[in-house]
Amino acid sequence: MTEAILSTRDLSRRFGGLMAVGAVAIELHRGKLHAVLGPNGAGKTTLINLLSGDLRASSGSIRYKGEDITRLPPDRRSRIGIGRSYQKTNIFAAFTAFENCRLAAQSRAPRPLRVMSDALRHRPVCDAARRALAAVGLAERAGYVASALSHGEQRQLEIAMVLAT
């Protein structure tokens, strides 16, 4: 079997005396479908927060493509390819689907903080947004205002935004 693209070893997170995630060891491989299952309170969200960098591990390690990323902040993890969506929809309702994706893609551009510049002239950003929308089946709805999309389409848009980064 190939090397895991994402793996953890003895990954743990404590909140005071509560062990929310205890010594988790996982290996995620490219091209395979993975799921995190468990009842409410089992630590699923905490595990995802650890992987994305939204929470720091109490102990253990996280490796991505062979590199230790345990101490990388969320923005650095996003730049190397680790993204996530949240339980609550997190989009700009007044922007079109394309604008939402373009803004996400712009965060990976060489000068991401130049948000006031004309992003339409930055072709790689626009291309990344279009590819992401196509990947989730929203290419035909790129010009729709996000608030006009169904809840399911808004979730697809969030995934496209993660892919665009």
Claim to verify: residue 63 and residue 106 sit in the same structural domain = no
Q: In the prediction, which pLDDT does 91 show?
A: 92
Which residue among 48, 79, 110 closes a domain?
Answer: 79
Domain of 148?
97-164
| Domain at 74, CATH number | 3.40.50.300
Which residue among 29, 45, 79 closes a domain?
Answer: 79
**Tally of structural domains, the chain:** 2
Contact 27, 5 (CB under 8 A): no
Is 88 within the bounds of a domain?
no
Tokens 């591990």 correspond to: 57
Is 87 within the bounds of a domain?
no
**In the chain, % of residues over pLDDT 70:** 92
Is 22 within the bounds of a domain?
yes
Is 43 within the bounds of a domain?
yes
Claim to verify: residue 67 and residue 16 sit in the same structural domain = yes
pLDDT digits (tens, 9 = 90+) for 21-52: 999 999 999 888 888 999 999 999 999 999 99
Is 154 within the bounds of a domain?
yes
Average pLDDT on 67-84 reads 89
Q: State the distance between the two ends of the chain, measured CA to CA, in whole angstroms.
A: 28
Question: Is the per-residue pLDDT at 97 higher than 70?
Answer: yes
Q: Which amino acid is at 45?
A: T
pLDDT digits (tens, 9 = 90+) for 4-25: 999 999 999 999 999 999 999 9
* Count of other CB atoms within 10 angstroms of residue 98: 23
Sign of CA dihedral 9, 15, 21, 23: positive
Q: Which residues of 11-28 are buried (b: 16+ CB within 10 A; e: fewer)?
A: bbbeeeeeebbeebeeee
Question: Is the per-residue pLDDT at 124 higher than 90?
Answer: no
Is 1 within the bounds of a domain?
no
Claim to verify: residue 71 and residue 133 sit in the same structural domain = no
Is 90 within the bounds of a domain?
no
Helix residue ranges, H only, the chain: 44-52, 74-80, 97-106, 123-135, 151-164
